Structure 1
Amino acid sequence: MASSADKLSLALVAGEPSGDMLAARLLSGLRPHLPEARFHGIGGPQMMAQGFESHWPMDQLTVRGLLPVLMRYRELKGIQNTLRDQLLAERPAAFIGADYPGFNLGLEEQLKAAGIPTIHYIGPQIWAWRGGRIKKIISAVSHMLVVFPFEEEIYRQAGVPVSYVGHPLAELIPLTPDEGAARRALGMPEDGNVVTIMPGSRMSELKYNTVAFVQAARLLKARDRTLRFVAPMAGERQRAYFLELVAQAGLQDVEIQLLDGQSHTAIAAADAVLVASGTASLEVALFKKPMVIAYKMMELEWQILRHFGYQPWIGMPNILAREFLVPELLQHAANPEALAEAMWKQLSDAPHRLRLAQRFTDMHHSLLRNSAVESAAAVLRVIERAK
Structure 2
Amino acid sequence: MTTLNDVSTHTPLIALIAGEDSGDQLGADLILALRERYPDARFVGIGGARMQAQGFESWYDIRELSLFGFSEVIRHLPRLLRLRRELIARLLKVQPAVVVGIDAPDFNLGLEQRLKHAGLKTVHYVSPSVWAWREKRAEKIGRSANRVLCLFPMEPPIYARHGIDARFVGHPLADRFAMISDRVGAREFLQLPQQAPILALLPGSRASELSRMGPVFIDAAMRVAGALPGLRIVIPAANPHMHAKLKDLLAKLPRDETAPLLLDGHAHEAMLAADVVLLASGTATLEAMLAKRPMVVGYRVAPASYRIARALKMLKTDVYALPNILARANGIDGELLVPEFMQDECTASHLAAATLALFQDSERRGYIVNAFEQLHRALRSGLDGHAGERAAAAIAELMDATDGG
Q: Which TM-score bucket, shorter chain as reference?
A: over 0.9
The answer for unaligned runs of 5 or more in structure 1 is none
Give yes or no for the alignment of 1:328 onto 2:332.
no
CA distance in 1, matches of 2:68, 2:254: 28
Which of 193, 200, 203 does residue 197 from structure 2 map onto?
Answer: 193
1:196 partner letter: A
- How far 1:204 sits from its partner (Å)? 1.0
What corresponds to 1:373 in structure 2? 389
TM-score (normalised: structure 1): 0.95
| 2:27 pairs with 1:11 | no
Amino acid at match of 1:358: N
Whether 2:399 is the aligned partner of 1:383: answer: yes
Contact 1:41/1:54 (8 A) holds in 2 = yes
Alignment-derived partner of residue 356 in structure 2: 344
**Aligned length, in residue pairs:** 384
Distance in 1 between residues matched to 2:344 and 2:249, nearest whole Å: 19
Report what 1:278 is aligned to: 282
Structure 1 residue 309 corresponds to structure 2 residue 315: yes
Which structure 2 residues correspond to residues 1-387 of structure 1 after superposition, within 5 A? 4-247=8-251, 250-251=252-253, 253=255, 255-306=259-310, 307-322=313-328, 324-368=336-380, 369=383, 370-386=386-402
- Which runs of 4 or more aligned residues in structure 1 lie more than 6 Å from their structure 2 counterparts after TM superposition? none
Change in CA separation of 1:252 and 1:110 when aligned onto 2, cut-off 3 Å: farther
Residues 70 and 304 of structure 2 are in contact (CA less than 8 Å); yes or no, is this contact kept in structure 1?
no
SS of the residue 1:32 aligns to: helix
Q: What letter is aligned with 2:390?
A: E
Structure 1: how far apart are the matches of 2:322 and 2:371?
13
Offset from partner CA, 1:331-361 (integer Å, 9 cap, x none): 2211111111100111121111111111111
Using the alignment, how far apart are the partners of 1:80 and 1:153 within structure 2?
A: 31
Which digits, 9 at most, give the CA deviation of each residue in 1:95-150, with x for residues without a partner?
00111100000000011011110001111112201433223212111001111111
Q: Percent identity?
A: 38
Distance 1:308 1:95 in 2: 28
Q: CA deviation at 1:224?
A: 1.7
CA distance in 2: counterparts of 1:277 and 1:354, whole angstroms: 22
- Partner SS state of residue 10, structure 2: coil
- Counterpart amino acid of residue 34 in structure 2: L
C-alpha distance in structure 2 between counterparts of 1:243 and 1:22, whole Å: 30
Write out per-residue CA displacement over residues 173-228 of structure 1, whole angstroms, 9 at most, x where no aligned residue: 11112111111111111111110000111111111110010001111111123000
CA deviations on 1:253-298 (whole Å, 9 max, x unpaired) are: 5611111111111111111100100000001001110000100132
Distance 1:73 1:173 in 2: 37
- Would the alpha carbon gap of residues 143 and 3 (structure 1) be closer, same or farther in structure 2, given more than 3 Å must change? closer
| Amino acid paired to 2:155 | E
